[in-house]
Each structure stands twice: as C-alpha cells, then as structure tokens.
Amino acid sequence: MTNIAAMRSIAPPTVPELVARARELAPLLRKNAAAGEANRRVEEETIQAVRQAGLMRVCTPKRYGGWEMNVQAILDVSSAIAEGDGGAAWVVNLNNVCCWLTSLLPRKAQDEVFGADPDACVSGVLNPTATATKVPGGFRVTGTWHYNSGGWHAQWAVLGMPIVNDAGETIDQGLALFPMTDLERVDTWFVAGMRSSGSICLKCNDAFVPEHRILSVPRAIEGAYPTEMQDQEPLYRSAFVPVLSLILVGPILGLGRAALEFVRQKAGTRTIAYTFFDKQSSSVAFQLQIADAALMIDTAHLHAYRAAADIDEAAARGVYPDRLVRARVRADTGYVVEKITQAIDKLLFAHGSAGFAESSPLQRIWRDAAVASRHAVVLPPIGYELYGKALLGVENNVTPLI
C-alpha cells in the first residue's frame, strides 16, 4: 500500500515534466510494442514504467497523491506516449479518464479506490449493457461490457447499468463502480489495430453495487455529479461528454506526429522507385505531400486544443458549457480524427510501400490510428450533425451524448 501522506508531500510534476518523462520512455515503448501487439495487451514492463513515471495519475485527485490536472494535460501526456506506442497511450489515456469518472463519485467511493492505492487502474464502458434489481442499499447487477481498454491491468471498472425502481422499471441510466474481483475478464479483443490496448469484455453475475458507487448519466451530462468536492476541485466539474469524447484524440494526435517524424527522418536516404530521384527529399511532389500532411496534423492540434480550452476554462470559472459549445467540442473531436487519418494516409503514399512491411513502425501507426479513429464517440459525421443542429437551432434527435 502506498503511503498517501508521503505522496501528498511530494510536489506534483508540471505537464512539461510529464511529457518529458513520456518521451524518455519512448525507447522502451517501441521495444515492447511488437510484443504488446502479439499478446494483445500492453507489456507489464511498460505498464510499470508509465506508472512509476506518474503518467497514470493525471486525473487522480491531489487528496490521494494524484496530479489533478486538466483536459489539455490529458492530451499532452497521452499524445507524447503515443509517439512511442499507440496502444500504451490508449491504455494510459483511458485509465486517466476513468480515474476522472471515479472522482465524480462520492468521496466514500473515491476512498475505496484511491485511498488504498493512488496508482489504482480503472477501465470503463458507458454503455448500459446490463440488467439490475433494486435491493436495500443498492442494486444487484448482471451484465456484459465490451471494449474495456486496459481491462487486463485494472483493479476497478466503471460500467454502465440501468437504474430501476422497486417494480423493475428502468427510470434512469447509471454508471457504476465495480471492483475487478466482482468481474470476469473475457479475452475477445482480436482486431486489426490497437491490438495491445487489451480492450476485452468484462462480465458479472449478480454483483452487488452500493448506491454510493453509482452516478446518474443524464444528470452528469448536464453537469450534476455526486462528488462533494466540485467547489474546491475544478477538474471534477468539467463537462461530462466533452471530456469523454475529446480525450480520445490524444493518442491519435501523437500517432500523427510519430508518422510525420518517421517519414521526414527517412526522406534523406530513401529513393523514389522508377524515378530519377536518389532521395525523396529532392522531389517537389514529395515536399508537397509532406507539407500537406504536416498542415493537416497542425490543424488537428488547433481544433483539439481549442476544444480543450473550452472545457478547461469553463471548469475553472465554474460555468457549465452550453449546448452549442458542447456540440462544437464533438465536432472538433471528429475533425481531429478525420485530419489525422488523412495525414497518415498521405504520409504512407509519400513514404512508399516499405511502410507496410511488418518491420516498419509506420504500418502499426496507421493501423492503430485507423482503429482508434473509429471509436463511436469520435465519429466525424455524428459530431458534425450535432454541431450543425446546434448552429441552426434544430432539435437534437441523434444522441443524448452532448
């Protein structure tokens, strides 16, 4: 067990310090990336290294020895890790945001998770794919939840569930905190990219969940969280859906930067087959492709950090963003993944077919970004439609997640 008092006495690192630590780990991350893919989970050596570097405490309250930063910090740290390995970045990122979700619960629940271990790992799924029965003091829950990224490494999970009345009628949607000892891990993650994220299935059968470990999702969407600490801790009054959507682009941004750097570094030594160019960097066509890809990646960052500023500044002021701002964050999120995936495709065209060799990190970057960009919450058309409806004052009949 970690000494919490000792942890509180340590000055928290700055965001640039955490980013530097992530980049120092890049050789280790790259070394373990292939094994992580083969085993379909991040290597334990990598998990221990990122934990020791403090990269999994970005969203943990300072009360427990965490860093309690903000959304911009989440993007900075996860994208820096992704420069070394996208799967590791995804797992660290999802752990950090699930620690944020845990910190929206009452202090009693937070104590159960972080009081025992400030480095506790938490996975999560919002979708309420479960059944529940109301009992004294809480609910008994049976369910199956897919795509628990980092589920192999977690000690806790936040999972969606229906909230029912005594008659068994659904009256609300909840997000419940479960100890992993109540859950069964099922190895279902066989995919083309983000293989090492270990986004497995979790199952439980008739587990008891006390009321203090549950929050109402509809109330959270409007900014009403059960934590008693909102007045003192701005991070835990940040807008619910904007946080959950925007943080997903952090690793994708880092993958875009990694692809650009790899292709740039190789440009001075690679030829362009069936042309007179003995190196790619001499070709105007190649220069145009690189410039176009770099500008797409830059544009993606501008949108991501504008959205982060919208969330962080509102939380600092104690103001909950209105629907137009929240819809724009969803649109910004989709625009980021669209621009990064387009940029990586262009870089693959520029670099050539060698980028698809199994020995090339570029093909893993491409696959990881392609899978991560298809997460349901970041899909561009959904975000654009939500923003268009908000701009025009048209009723949102798409999703409550705004």
H/E stretch holding 307: helix 284-317
**Over pLDDT 70: what percentage of the chain?**
98
pLDDT band at 3 (very low <50, low <70, confident <90, very high): low
Task: For Cα atoms 333, 338, 344, give the angle at the middle one, nearest 5 degrees.
Answer: 125
- The span from the CA of 205 to the CA of 221, in Å, is 28
Listed in order, the ranges of the chain carrying CATH 1.20.140.10 are: 240-392
Count of alpha carbons within 13 Å of 379, Cβ hemisphere only?
11
Tokens 């495709």 belong to 345
Q: Decide if pLDDT at 250 tops 70.
A: yes
Taking only the tens place, the pLDDT of each residue in 84-135 is 999 999 999 999 999 999 999 999 999 999 998 999 999 999 999 999 999 9
Cα 269 to Cα 104, 252, 258, 272, 360: the distances in Å are 52, 27, 18, 10, 15
- The span from the CA of 86 to the CA of 196, in Å, is 9
Strand partners, 202: 145, 185
Ranges 1-5, 164-168, 210-214, 394-398: which has the least confidence:
1-5
Q: List CB contacts of 17: < 8 A, sequence separation 6 or more.
A: none
Listed in order, the ranges of the chain carrying CATH 2.40.110.10 are: 122-219
Token digits of residue 381: 């058309």
Cα 301 to Cα 29, 254, 260, 275, 364: the distances in Å are 23, 10, 14, 35, 21
**Over pLDDT 90: what percentage of the chain?**
97
Q: Decide if pLDDT at 255 tops 90.
A: yes
Angle between the N-to-C axes of helices 86-102 and 71-82, in degrees from 0 to 180, rounded to the nearest 10 = 160
Mean pLDDT of 219-234: 96
Predicted pLDDT at 6: 54
Tokens 């279902």 belong to 188
SS3 content of the chain, % helix, strand, coil (to 5): 55, 15, 30
- The span from the CA of 383 to the CA of 331, in Å, is 4
The pTM assigned to this predicted structure is 0.96
- In words, the CATH class of domain 4-115 is mainly alpha
Closest CA to 213 of 104, 318, 64: 104
Tokens 């570094």 belong to 265
Count of alpha carbons within 13 Å of 89, Cβ hemisphere only?
34
Identify the burial level of 7 via C-beta atoms within 10 angstroms of its C-beta, where 0-12 means exposed, 13-18 middle and 19 or more buried: middle
Produce one character per residue of 108-143: b if its CB has 16 or more CB atoms within 10 Å, e if not: ebbebbbbeebbbbbbbbbebebbbebeeebbebeb
- The span from the CA of 202 to the CA of 199, in Å, is 9
Token digits of residue 87: 């799967």
Taking only the tens place, the pLDDT of each residue in 274-301 is 999 999 999 999 999 999 999 999 999 9
Predicted pLDDT at 74: 98
Predicted pLDDT at 42: 98
Mean pLDDT of 258-278: 97
Q: Decide if pLDDT at 8 tops 80.
A: no
Domain 122-219 matching CATH 2.40.110.10: the answer reads yes
pLDDT band at 4 (very low <50, low <70, confident <90, very high): low
Taking only the tens place, the pLDDT of each residue in 133-188 is 999 999 999 999 999 999 999 999 999 999 999 999 999 999 999 999 999 999 99
- The span from the CA of 363 to the CA of 369, in Å, is 10
DSSP state letters, 78-136: HHHHHTT-HHHHHHHHHHHHHHHHHTTS-HHHHIIIIIT-TT--EEEE-S--EEEEEET
Mean pLDDT of 227-249: 97
DSSP state letters, 342-385: HHHHHHHHHH-GGGGSTT-HHHHHHHHHHHHTT-GGG-HHHHHH
Of 1.10.940.10, 1.20.140.10, 3.90.1150.10, 1.20.20.10, the CATH number of 240-392 is: 1.20.140.10
Predicted pLDDT at 116: 87
Q: Strands, DSSP E only, in 258-341?
A: none
Predicted pLDDT at 1: 45
Listed in order, the ranges of the chain carrying CATH 1.10.540.10 are: 4-115
Taking only the tens place, the pLDDT of each residue in 346-364 is 999 999 999 999 999 999 9
